[in-house]
A and B are shown apart, each in its own frame.
Chain A
């Protein structure tokens, strides 16, 4: 509407006013996305469904690994670091799969999808849910790695690179799974299907994330992990852009 009123005025003014209109639209979209995110966060904090499932899963895994391995007293060989990195990412992957579909499935279960469709544009819904998943994964990553450091005696050689790896891995998890959560809301066997759909897309980033994380566990491994970090970020960008383009079709289906 704002666009129309500006074009009806003096034609000389249109050039100068059109840019603010486009900017205004983006700001509106981001505000809507933020509103969706805050609403979901509030619901999540009220029910704590996803957080509980994810953190408990991660804690159980860390406990099991701790019970199984602390007696061995692993030496810090290259293999030991790879094993520790694999176990960490296994815990993260399955914890994430148990909770990340919550954002959309919840809307279907409480029958609020139609209302959400009326209230916000598709992209804003996607961005809101994506932010929620990102926040959940950040929390999950921090808690899980703390548990591994304490219980499994993982020693982090280059903490900054390790955090970067965790963030990049979490980013690729969130970008590849958010749109899948929207796809499965209308299907039967939702949770099993979510894992089935997500796994093939997560194989490439997880291989890289495990190798990269193993490198950051070693002392001074930050530089070695750089290509892995680049790969994960490129993967996330590709998946994010594809999600933005495709989400419209999922949302209107």
Chain B
């Protein structure tokens, strides 16, 4: 009975994931400016979520092992770490592809990239530690301690580092529904910060209904400067020309100009803005998260049972000798 249920569950997860994949490639609409590359976030965000979830589950089972000394808990901790490592690698690779296509660089030491890199290193260190200790009991106990100890750093990575670091490619305002990039209102001649770039509004020039701003944009670290000319249509109240920042595919938009033409609201426009506004996309995204989570738990259970079986076999063989 239980086995049949497991079979059905396995089949359901397979069908579910197949459905998500089909919808991802064939049903959901292309995002403006991103083309087909934008579809990758249906895979990227859920794998990233699962990699963090796996890390937490591994730490929980490590704690349970230290408390109860039941080898099964250790099997689950290992299985979660192994699954987590796989999903972390997937999240990193899909993220890098997306980053290259959309923003023009693979790797930027963005806080989120830094934290997933640290996560990869922690998993790798955990496996290195396990392979370096021969005594089974000791291996279980010490790797449980390391797993818990490493978990203490997570809040620092997630909550603190992104707030201190001032360079990010991952603007939440671009991808999280309901939030918007605020932008910055500058008077002519004034300097401000937009994301990690220093901008200076040099002039606003009116030609008919079209107001064109002359903006000097400095690269992060002030290594070079470029002049961009976004424009705003006074008659329709919409942005007209949106030039791209040099090297990346963010655009600089002039969202508003006050009637006397002395100040303007400048903002970052990412090509993926409003991705999840589309209902089909949002539901596919949620289905993908659910599917990946179920897949992870199925893998976790399977691998942990396998490890338990391996251990039982080894013990029986050892007993016979």
Chain A residues proximal to chain B, CB less than 8 Å: 78-79, 179-180, 183-184, 186-189, 193, 196-197, 199-201, 203-204, 207-208, 211, 227-228, 231, 234-235, 238-239, 242-243, 246, 249-250, 252-253
Contact = CB atoms under 8 A, between A and B. Distances in A.
A71 B28 CA distance: 59
A199 B144 contact: no
A208 to B, nearest CB: 6
A173 B161 CA distance: 17
A204 B156 contact: yes
Interface of B: 66, 114, 117-118, 121-122, 124-125, 128-129, 132-135, 137-138, 141-142, 144-146, 148-150, 152-153, 155-157, 160-161, 164-165, 221-222
A228 B148 CA distance: 25
A204 B153 contact: yes
Contact of A239 (B114, B125, B152, B157): B152
Contacts of B128: 193, 196-197
Contacts of A250: 141-142, 145
Given A207-B114, A228-B164, A253 B121 contact: no
A125 to B, nearest CB: 15
A253 B133 CA distance: 11
B149 A246 contact: yes
B145 A193 contact: no
Interface centre among B141, B142, B144, B157 (most CB of A within 10 A): B142
Interface centre among A207, A228, A238 (most CB of B within 10 A): A207
B121 A203 contact: yes
Given A199-B125, A200-B153, A246-B148, 12 more contacts: A187-B132, A193-B132, A201-B122, A201-B150, A203-B118, A204-B156, A208-B164, A231-B160, A235-B156, A239-B149, A239-B152, A252-B141
Given A204-B157, A208-B164, A227-B164, A79 B221 contact: yes
Main secondary structure of the interface of A (DSSP, over half): helix
Contacts of A186: 133, 135, 138, 142
Contacts of B157: 204
Contacts of A249: 66, 141, 144-145
Nearest to B140: A253
A144 B162 CA distance: 30
Contacts of A234: 156, 160
A129 to B, nearest CB: 16
B158 to A, nearest CB: 10
A193 B129 contact: yes
B132 A246 contact: no
Given A199-B121, A199-B125, A204-B118, A187 B133 contact: yes
Contacts of B164: 208, 211, 227-228, 231
B215 to A, nearest CB: 23
B148 A203 contact: no
Contact of A201 (B124, B129, B153): B153
A197 B129 contact: yes
B132 A189 contact: yes
Nearest to A200: B121
A242 B145 CA distance: 10
Nearest to B123: A200
Nearest to A238: B152
Nearest to B161: A204
A200 B118 contact: yes
A228 B160 CA distance: 10
18 contacts: A79-B221, A180-B149, A184-B129, A186-B142, A193-B132, A196-B124, A197-B129, A199-B125, A200-B150, A201-B122, A201-B150, A204-B161, A211-B164, A231-B156, A238-B152, A242-B152, A246-B149, A249-B144
Contacts of B144: 249
Contact of A179 (B121, B125, B149): B149
Interface centre among A193, A201, A250 (most CB of B within 10 A): A201
A196 B125 contact: yes
Contacts of B118: 200, 203-204
Contacts of A231: 156, 160, 164
Contacts of A199: 121, 125
B198 to A, nearest CB: 12
A107 B128 CA distance: 23
A123 B157 CA distance: 28
B301 to A, nearest CB: 26
A219 B66 CA distance: 50
A208 B152 CA distance: 17
